[in-house]
């Protein structure tokens, strides 16, 4: 265990102003990846302009007061909404930084023109070389790899920077170093590494041997240390935490409150904290929304949820306090991951999930294993 239990003071309650919002321009995705959590990815339910305008009314005020404020377009596949519709949805926003999280398969020169014109920051998904990306498939079942690489080549040809997000389904030793080399060779600005999660529509198990997962993270850290040309988001965060812990400043790293990260669904429903819950309903928690921008301003929805959290949000905050009281990794993790709790345990006031073991505990211990071995 990394550290003795100590009292961490961050992550108490929910902030009323987020650092970014997520917008769902369409539920549709042109891919059908093996591990996808999205429930409505085969349906083209598009956000209306009225929803975008209602969200922008609050977002523009927040952006006016912030140094940076991001609007992240995240579907489905946001480019599946088409350039004309996406441009119309973006139009009401002012003073924001637009981002898209895309599967890259639709990117061509016309999309590059659009991305440049709207100054859009790009995050794209690829899981490594062809064999590692085999789970990303078109609706026909054909592998999407060639189309993803073609999209990346087009971006590179136009000099458009991009971040990459990789999903690793079966982490273990021997795979992290070649994966890092492959991803770094693509030339991204940053690499994010997600271990596959059992959530939403994806019911595949994410139970792994902790020693193998830890070895994966240690190897990834080693690969990055040997050739640190691209930041690896997870390794950077673990090293930052370890460095702060060495000088007794680890309590300063977590935000004081949870970033509400409002996800505005295509129909205006607002899901806080966890975009993965959008589109789901449960007998116990309803549709997980805190309100709709169609009838209530977004800032009012957030203020009410922060002041009087009810339903699953209240249960989640109880779970956070249980994490604070019992988990030695709270200062590193912050106890987030609402969707993992729900989809693994069926409720929110629990603590340890397999996601915790894979992507928090084994991550931190793996990074430290690498440091200890040097
Ligand atoms: S979510 Fe998991 S790893 Fe994070 S603090 Fe809670 S129990 Fe610990």
Residue from 229, 158, 139 nearest 191 by CA: 229
Residue 98, classed as helix, strand or coil, is strand
122 lines ligand 1 (CB under 6 A): no
Q: What is the pLDDT of residues 51-109, one digit of tens each?
A: 999 999 999 999 999 999 999 999 899 999 999 999 999 999 999 999 999 999 999 99
At 7, the pLDDT band (50, 70, 90 cuts) reads confident
Beta strands 121-125; 97-102: pairing state: parallel
Question: Which pLDDT value is given to residue 4?
Answer: 53
Question: Which pLDDT value is given to residue 169?
Answer: 92
Which atom of ligand 1 is nearest to 351's Cα?
7
Tell me which of 8, 250, 352, 358 to substitute to probe ligand 1's pocket, judged by most ligand atoms within 8 Å of the beta carbon: 352
Q: If you measure from the C-alpha of residue 265 to the centroid of ligand 1, how many angstroms do you get, rounded to a whole number? A: 27
Question: Which pLDDT value is given to residue 42?
Answer: 86
At 286, the pLDDT band (50, 70, 90 cuts) reads very high
* CA pair distance 30, 84, nearest whole angstrom: 18
* CA pair distance 80, 74, nearest whole angstrom: 11
Whether the bond into 323 is cis, omega within 30 of 0: no
Beta strands in 126-188 (DSSP E): 162-168
351 lines ligand 1 (CB under 6 A): yes
Tell me which of 331, 351, 355, 364 to substitute to probe ligand 1's pocket, judged by most ligand atoms within 8 Å of the beta carbon: 351
Tell me which of 316, 323, 344 to substitute to probe ligand 1's pocket, judged by most ligand atoms within 8 Å of the beta carbon: 323
Q: If you measure from the C-alpha of residue 134 to the centroid of ligand 1, how many angstroms do you get, rounded to a whole number? A: 31
DSSP letter (8 states) at residue 80:
G
Tell me which of 331, 356, 358, 365 to substitute to probe ligand 1's pocket, judged by most ligand atoms within 8 Å of the beta carbon: 356
Which atom of ligand 1 is nearest to 340's Cα?
1
* CA pair distance 212, 67, nearest whole angstrom: 41
* CA pair distance 210, 354, nearest whole angstrom: 10
Residue 2 has pLDDT above 70, yes or no: no
Q: If you measure from the C-alpha of residue 351 to the centroid of ligand 1, how many angstroms do you get, rounded to a whole number? A: 6
Identify the residue whose C-alpha is closest to ligand 1 atom 4: 335
Among the residue ranges 7-11, 120-124, 274-278, 340-344, the one predicted with the least confidence is 7-11
* CA pair distance 101, 218, nearest whole angstrom: 27
337 lines ligand 1 (CB under 6 A): yes
Q: If you measure from the C-alpha of residue 3 to the centroid of ligand 1, how many angstroms do you get, rounded to a whole number? A: 13
Question: Which pLDDT value is given to residue 201?
Answer: 84
* CA pair distance 218, 100, nearest whole angstrom: 30
């Amino acid at each position: 265990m990394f550290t003795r239990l100590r009292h961490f003071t961050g992550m108490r309650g929910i902030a009323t102003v987020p650092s970014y919002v997520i917008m769902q321009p369409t539920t549709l995705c042109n891919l059908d990846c093996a591990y996808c959590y999205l429930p409505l990815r085969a349906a083209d339910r598009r956000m209306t302009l009225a929803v975008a305008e209602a969200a922008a009314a609050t977002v523009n005020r927040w952006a006016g007061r912030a140094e940076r404020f991001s609007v992240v377009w995240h579907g489905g596949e946001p480019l599946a909404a088409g350039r004309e519709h996406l441009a119309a949805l973006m139009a009401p926003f002012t003073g924001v930084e637009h981002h898209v999280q895309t599967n890259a398969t639709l990117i061509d020169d016309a999309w590059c023109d659009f991305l440049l014109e709207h100054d859009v920051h790009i995050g794209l998904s690829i899981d490594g070389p062809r064999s590692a990306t085999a789970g990303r498939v078109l609706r026909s079942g054909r592998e999407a790899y060639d189309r993803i690489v073609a999209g990346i080549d087009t971006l590179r040809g136009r000099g458009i920077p991009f971040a990459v997000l990789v999903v690793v389904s079966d982490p273990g030793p021997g795979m992290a170093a070649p994966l890092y080399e492959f991803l770094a060779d693509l030339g991204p600005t940053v690499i994010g590494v997600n271990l596959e999660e059992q959530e939403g529509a994806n019911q595949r198990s994410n139970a792994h041997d902790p020693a193998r997962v830890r070895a994966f993270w240690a190897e990834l850290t080693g690969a990055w240390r040997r050739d640190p040309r691209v930041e690896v988001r997870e390794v950077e965060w673990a090293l930052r935490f370890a460095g702060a812990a060495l000088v007794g400043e680890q309590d300063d790293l977590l935000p004081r409150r949870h970033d509400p990260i409002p996800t505005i669904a295509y129909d205006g429903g607002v899901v806080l904290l966890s975009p993965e819950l959008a589109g789901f309903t449960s007998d116990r928690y309803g549709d997980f929304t805190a309100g709709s921008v169609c009838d209530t301003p977004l800032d009012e929805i957030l203020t009410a949820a922060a002041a009087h959290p009810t339903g699953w949000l209240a249960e989640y905050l109880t779970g956070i306090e249980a994490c604070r009281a019992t988990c030695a990794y709270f200062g590193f993790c912050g106890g987030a991951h609402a969707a993992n709790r729900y989809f693994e345990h069926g409720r929110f006031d629990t603590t340890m999930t397999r996601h915790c073991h894979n992507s928090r505990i084994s991550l931190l211990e793996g990074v430290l294993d690498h440091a200890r071995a040097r």
